[in-house]
């Protein structure tokens, strides 16, 4: 049985993640008290084919003590040899606060802090720090659209569960902020910029003329050679350490040309080597 624990910050997109998981065949239960996780796991194990893929959501709605109870439940599962993985949904403080203001939803800790969203988010992040550090998968939804989040969820969990490392190649623009979930970030702003070529300015790194321009330079080809060689050496090391997900981010100024070119080439490189990989161009539609 594939058993997934979904958690994270309030307002980070757990509900959307659960909808995406349901769409790809997970049986999902929301707001399950962590004290019941072991019992629920055992019931699902005995229930047969309909519970081959299960996801449960547990979060701060159960109170601040919920995560000490979660730690105890996970330790019990480990002792019993029951396998599970943790998906953590995150977002920046400013994005979380804006989401609560826009939707007029109440933060679970709002009453404790007399309605102060700043304090509620700050305390929740502190409480969740250890859980985030131990998560198998972390998705920062700060700059993701619902469609992009659904694509990431589907890429991670569609198909059979596998112990193989999943490599996510991400392009982004530094002007919009680096992705906090990235394990490795490479800056390609040192390379010639197609943005200053009038006929290329409105195209992206997915268009052949832009890719050809970026990669025609000797320095671009040398960066590609050295970078791909470094990653070919490092990726097996991460795999040997038991890492489930590796996020490799390529950044340029706006996230439309150079970073897209390199992230796409890196994705194609890993696929050609028979590895599990995905690609996401986070800022390609931004102006």
Mind listing the pLDDT tens digit of every residue in the chain (287 residues)? 899 999 999 999 999 999 989 988 899 999 898 889 999 999 998 887 668 899 999 988 877 677 778 888 888 999 999 999 999 999 999 999 999 888 888 888 888 877 788 998 999 999 889 889 989 999 999 988 888 888 888 888 875 444 467 899 999 999 999 998 899 999 999 999 999 999 999 999 999 999 999 999 999 999 999 999 999 999 999 887 767 789 999 999 999 999 999 999 999 999 999 888 999 999 999 87
Residue 173, strand partner residues: 252
- Rounded to two decimals, what is the model's pTM? 0.66
Residue pair 218/253 in contact by the 8 Å Cβ criterion: no
* Two tokens, residue 278: 């995905």
If one counts every other C-beta atom within 10 angstroms of the C-beta of residue 78, the result is 11
Beta strands across the sheet bearing 166-173: 184-187, 245-252, 166-173, 276-281
Handedness of CA 127, 130, 135, 139 (dihedral sign): positive
Q: How far apart are CA 163 and CA 83, in angstroms?
A: 11
The H or E element spanning position 28 is strand 27-29
């Amino acid at each position: 049985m594939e058993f997934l624990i979904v958690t994270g910050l309030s307002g980070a997109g757990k509900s959307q993640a659960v909808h995406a998981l349901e769409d790809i065949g997970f049986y999902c239960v929301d707001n399950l008290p962590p004290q019941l996780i072991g019992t629920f796991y055992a019931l699902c194990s005995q229930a047969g084919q309909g519970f081959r893929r299960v996801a449960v959501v547990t979060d701060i709605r159960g109170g601040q003590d919920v995560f000490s109870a979660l730690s105890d439940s996970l330790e019990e599962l480990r002792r019993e040899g029951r396998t599970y993985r943790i998906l953590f949904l995150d977002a920046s403080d400013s994005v979380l606060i804006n989401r609560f203001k826009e939707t007029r939803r109440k933060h679970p800790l709002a009453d404790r802090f007399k309605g102060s969203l700043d304090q509620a988010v700050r305390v929740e992040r502190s409480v969740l720090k250890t859980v985030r550090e131990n998560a198998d998968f972390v998705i920062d939804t700060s700059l993701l659209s619902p469609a992009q989040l659904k694509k990431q969820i589907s890429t991670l969990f569609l198909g059979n569960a596998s112990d193989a490392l999943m490599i996510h190649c991400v392009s982004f623009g530094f002007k919009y902020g680096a992705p906090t979930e990235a394990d490795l970030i490479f800056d390609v702003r040192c390379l010639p910029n197609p943005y200053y070529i009038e006929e290329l300015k409105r195209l992206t790194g997915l268009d052949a003329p832009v890719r050809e321009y970026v990669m025609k330079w000797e320095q671009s080809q040398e960066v590609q050679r050295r970078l791909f060689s470094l990653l070919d050496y490092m990726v097996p090391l991460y795999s040997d350490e038991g890492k489930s997900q590796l996020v490799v981010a390529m950044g340029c100024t706006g996230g439309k040309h150079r970073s897209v070119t390199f992230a796409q080439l890196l994705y194609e490189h890993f696929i050609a080597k028979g590895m599990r990989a995905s690609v996401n161009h986070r800022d390609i539609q931004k102006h």
